[in-house]
Chains A and B, each alone.
Chain A
Amino acid sequence: MATEKKMFLEALRKKFKESPEEKYTQFYIYGGWKQSKRKQEFVEWGTKLAKERGIPFYNPDMHLGGIPLGQRVLMPYRLSQTDIYCEGDDLHFINNAAMQQMWHDIRRTVIVGLDAAHMVIQKRLGKEVTPETVNHYLEVLNHALPGAAVVQEHMVETHPGLVADSYVKVFTGDDELADEIDKRFLININKEFPADQAAQLKAAVGKKIYQVLRMPTIVAMTCDGGTMSRWSAMQISMAMVNAYKLMAGEAAIGEFAFAAKHAEVIEMGTLMPWRRARGPNEPGGVPLGYIADMCQASRVKPEDPTWVALEAISMGAVLYDQFWFGSYMSGGVGFTQYATCTYTDNVLDDYCYYGADYVKKKYGGFGKAKPSWDLIKDVATEVTLYGLEQYERYPALMETHFGGSQRAAVVAAGAGVAVSLATGNCTAGINGWYLSQLLHKEEMGRLGFYGYDQQDQCGSANSFSYRSDEGLPFNLRGVNYPNYALNVGHQSAYTGIVQAAHSGRSDAWTTNPLIKIAFADKDLKFDFTHPRLCFGKGALREFMPAGERSLIIPSR
């Protein structure tokens, strides 16, 4: 790629006053935190609030015994493939409402099949189920799910203004049945997906009908992920009682509860082992292939599978690296810097498109070549060397990714995505990632920090392994996979490696078609079709989340 076409140069020119090729600069002259508008705002608020609360608070003089942050340039960040620039602080999930909402939208979702319940109603109770009864049931449940009563007297209920983002919709692969469902309740596969993807999805779903239930964001904020299927199951059962005029408490009701809580429920994340002690629908249990399927970039720009993978990567970065590793697992203020490198400044974009161009020229397109040692070695080595050379040619780029873990993630992500695109096989892609890490370590003589690259130094051996403690198809791995449990800065790219393999061969989904359809929903608060743009809006404070409490608190 010619110098002038390198995607990261524009951002580098905004980040630093010197040319990106310049090796020398000046330090210690930027005024510390005062060079940052965001830090100035923090100081203003910290000072005001310290007076109000009477307890010392945010005070940058505490940094390094009086040496403030900002001895070097506190550089801005560009959200990749957008025109949005922000400060690093704006990408911490605490400071970014869009990031919070992405996670809340995932956590508050469960999918529950309706077929088992319909079978109980028809075969066990001898009642009729028709599109009309289904529509009536859905209207009842849209009343009940946010927290309203449907059967009992003298019940307390939730304020609609606090839970307006809670609703239920359905989808089916049966076009005739879909036509009979009230459009207000339907996720219309034909409408939301390109025709070839819709055909694949409908064939996978068949004649079954599934409910997609969104619990209120305020519930996702105040309760845990395990709450969601319980909340939905209770309201489903009560809505069934109401809609089909059933006896509350008759034996058949237990079947609805069992179906909604166990037999027909699909959680967004699986239960975690006790040493990590999390229920379902927590970030640690979300498989890589699920987060790739939640990302909806593949249905809005299927002709650009590289972009699709990059959008999925940004979601993986925020969910796994910023929320899970950066907070749940590590404590503290988190790992924002590790994560942002994969979705800012067009750096990974440049590496991935370089790999994609290389694959197109040498292997005739995406998903055309079978996985082989020759291909993995060729593609992963080329993209790795390209990525490392960019850091060495452009000192400003090296300074942008000032930590080895950042560089290792971005370079290996480029290599892994390129191998996935070439082969349509994400297991080959992850193997390319590991080759990249070994090459990187020897080329630079350094990689990440101990906890970062330990996994990469033994990862070659488990990439194709199906042994009991390691064996899992790559799509189903995630931070719950033993070797990835401390894998900060990796999972974002892993999401993209899964996504690239499937989008490269025009698959409608990567792992679970139901998840893909469930998030093809314009009524979700977070825009899953353009996550990076949405994170950028969050950084600019232009994103309006759900879960606000202004109705029940004093006005400011």
Chain B
Amino acid sequence: MATYKPQYYPGSTKIAKNRKKYMDPSYKLKKLRTISDDDLVKLMGHRVPGEAYKSVHPPLEEMGEPACPIRELVEPTPGAKAGDRIRYIQFTDSVYFTPLTPYMRAWMGHNRYRGVDIGVLSGRVPLEARERDLEKVAKDLVETEIFDPARCGIRGATVHGHALRLDENGMMFDALRRFVFDKKTGEVVYVKDQIGVPLDKPISVGKPLKEEELREMTSEYRVDGVPFREDKEMIEFIQRLHMLRTEAGFDPNKVKGI
């Protein structure tokens, strides 16, 4: 029997290749910046750095769980073992050449991390997990190549901005102005946490990526970048998917050639 090799995503263009790359958990995301653990905790705003994790149930070891084959198969995450609360980090990704689109962010997360619950909307992607697990995942999400300080926003609410034009510094709109561009350092600085509560001290998330770098890294098709029209494999794949679904819905016997 042939060994199954996941393809992750169809398409023949640079954009499709980037999508495959981000979704493939064997690809190691490039680290571009360092955010301290404490700063990340402050940005998310769920607990004060150093504060113990709040729990919603006793540690699993103390709970005397019922006999269950699924429980035997699935190793609980550290946060689940400890009984942590489920908390969130949420991102808004601009339409202007950000590394990840919302669906890519979700599918990448599902392929790479355990114990995460990810939603997808056009203007935001919430990721929920047990609190200590979340902090580990968030580290990847903010420190690596899938985050651009100017065009990705960490926003719990009032996420409006993904489709708006960019400001004079190339920053995505944020009605709450959680992040600002520091002209002296050329870095993006958060002055409020993700839900909009002012921070005691600003937290830098580094310099925005250059436009040409973003165009190389992006998973967004755009007519002023790599147009979707050029990815014929991708278009034909979707058309075939649609035809098969349609025919199966009408009469499953009509579906041939899968």
CB-CB under 8 A for A28 and B228, given A449-B122, A460-B249: no
The dominant DSSP class at the A interface is helix
A445 with B165: in contact, given A393-B223, A460-B246 (CB under 8 Å)? no
Q: Given contacts A443-B221, A444-B221, are A395 and B158 in contact (CB under 8 A)?
A: no
Q: Which residues of B contact A460 (CB under 8 A)?
A: 241-242, 245-246, 249
A442–B19 Cα gap in the complex (Å)? Answer: 11
Distance between Cα atoms of A438 and B121 in the complex (Å): 15
Using A444-B220, A462-B249, A465-B250 as known contacts, say yes or no to A438 and B241 having CB atoms under 8 A apart.
yes
Of B44-52, B57-65, B169-177, B183-191, the one with at least 4 CB within 8 A of chain A: B169-177
Say whether A511 faces chain B, with CB atoms less than 8 Å apart.
no
Q: Is the CB of B229 within 8 A of A398?
A: no
**Interface contact B103-A445, CB-CB below 8 Å:** yes
CB neighbours (8 Å) of B164 from chain A are 25, 27, 72, 398-399, 402
A67 x B175 contact (CB < 8 A): yes
Cβ A71 vs Cβ B163 within 8 A: no
- Distance in angstroms between the alpha carbons of A381 and B229 in the assembled complex: 10
Among the listed A26, A27, A64, A445, which residue makes an inter-chain contact with B196, where contact means beta carbons less than 8 Å apart? A64
Take A23-B165, A381-B239 as given contacts and tell me if A389 and B223 are in contact as well, using a CB distance cutoff of 8 Å.
Answer: yes
- Residue B243 at the A interface, CB < 8 A? yes
Q: Is the CB of A446 within 8 A of B239?
A: no
Q: A25-B165, A444-B220, A444-B221 are in contact. Are A450 and B96 (CB under 8 A)?
A: no
A438 and B242 contacting across the interface, CB-CB below 8 Å: yes
Residue A401 is within 8 A (CB to CB) of chain B in the complex: yes
The answer for the CA separation of A64 and B157 in the assembled complex, in Å, is: 10
List the B side residues contacting A458 at CB < 8 Å. Answer: 245
Q: Is the CB of B102 within 8 A of A446?
A: yes
User: CA separation between A448 and B123, bound complex, in Å?
Assistant: 8
**Residue A79 at the B interface, CB < 8 A?**
no
Q: Does A513 contact B (CB under 8 A)?
A: no
Enumerate chain A residues within 8 angstroms of B176, measured Cβ to Cβ. Answer: 64, 67
Does B223 lie within 8 Å of A446, measured CB to CB? no
A86 contacts B by Cβ under 8 Å: no
B121/A448 in contact, CB under 8 A: yes
Cβ-based interface call for B219 (8 A): yes
Indicate whether B207 reaches chain A with its CB closer than 8 angstroms: no
Q: Which residues in B have their C-beta under 8 angstroms from that of A23? A: 96, 165-166
**Which residues of A, 421-452, contact B by the 8 Å Cβ criterion?**
431, 434-435, 438-439, 441-450
Q: Count A-side interface residues using an 8 Å CB cutoff.
A: 57
Q: B120 at the A/B interface (Cβ < 8 Å)?
A: yes
User: How far is it, in angstroms, between the C-alpha of A65 and the C-alpha of B195 when the chains are bound?
Assistant: 12
**A326-345 at interface with B (beta carbon < 8 Å):** none
Flag if B227 contacts A389 (CB, 8 Å).
yes
Tally B residues with Cβ within 8 Å of A. Answer: 49
Q: Interface digits, A1-36 against B, CB 8 Å rule (1 contact, 0 not)?
A: 000000000000000001000111111100000000
Verify A435–B239 contact, CB threshold 8 A.
Answer: yes
Q: Is the CB of A447 within 8 A of B122?
A: yes
- Nearest A-chain residue to B254, judged by Cβ: A464
- CB-based contact B119/A450 at 8 Å: yes
Residues of A within 8 A of B238 (CB): 435, 438-439, 442
Tell me the bound Cα distance from A495 to B103 in angstroms. Answer: 29
Name which residue of chain B comes closest to A449, CB basis. B121
Residues of A within 8 A of B239 (CB): 377, 381, 435
Separation of A431 and B246 alpha carbons in the complex (Å)? 8
Assess whether B101 is interfacial by the CB under 8 Å rule: yes
Q: How far is the CA of A464 from the CA of B247 in the complex (A)?
A: 8
- Specify which of B95, B119, B246 is in contact with A461 (CB 8 Å cutoff): B246
A398 and B95: CB pair below 8 A? yes
Measured between C-beta atoms, what is the minimum distance from A497 to chain B in Å? Answer: 16
Interface centre among A399, A402, A441 (most CB of B within 10 A): A402
Closest to B250 in A: A464
| A292 beta carbon closer than 8 Å to chain B | no
- Note all chain B residues with C-beta closer than 8 A to A434: 242, 246
Inter-chain contact A27/B167, CB cutoff 8 Å: yes
Contact of B121 among A393, A395, A450 (CB under 8 A): A450
Which residues in A have their C-beta under 8 angstroms from that of B56? none
Looking across the interface, which residue of chain B has its beta carbon closest to that of A22?
A: B165
Chain A residues in 8 Å Cβ range of B119:
450
> Contacts A399-B165, A438-B242: A464 and B249 contacting too (C-beta < 8 A)?
yes
Alpha-carbon distance between A40 and B160 when the two chains are bound, in angstroms: 23
Measured between C-beta atoms, what is the minimum distance from A259 to chain B in Å? 40
Do residues A444 and B234 form an inter-chain contact, with CB atoms below 8 A? no
Question: Does B200 sit at the interface, judged by CB under 8 A?
Answer: no
Is A405 on the interface with B (CB-CB < 8 A)?
A: yes
Those of B100-115 within 8 Å (CB) of chain A: 100-104
Q: What's the Cα separation between A291 and B89 when bound, in Å?
A: 43
B122 / chain A contacts, CB cutoff of 8 Å? 403-405, 407-408, 444, 446-449
Q: Is the CB of B101 within 8 A of A444?
A: yes
A65 to B196, CA, bound (A): 10
Q: What 9 pairs across the A-B complex have the smallest Cβ distances?
A: A404-B122, A445-B101, A461-B249, A460-B245, A464-B250, A446-B102, A392-B223, A449-B121, A443-B228
Q: List 19 A-B contacts (CB under 8 A).
A: A23-B96, A25-B165, A67-B175, A71-B177, A72-B173, A389-B227, A398-B95, A435-B242, A439-B228, A444-B101, A445-B100, A445-B220, A445-B221, A447-B122, A450-B120, A458-B245, A460-B241, A460-B249, A461-B248
List 14 additional A-B contacts (Cβ < 8 Å) besides A27-B173, A404-B121, A431-B246: A23-B165, A64-B158, A64-B176, A71-B175, A72-B164, A391-B95, A391-B163, A399-B163, A399-B164, A403-B122, A405-B122, A438-B241, A442-B238, A458-B245
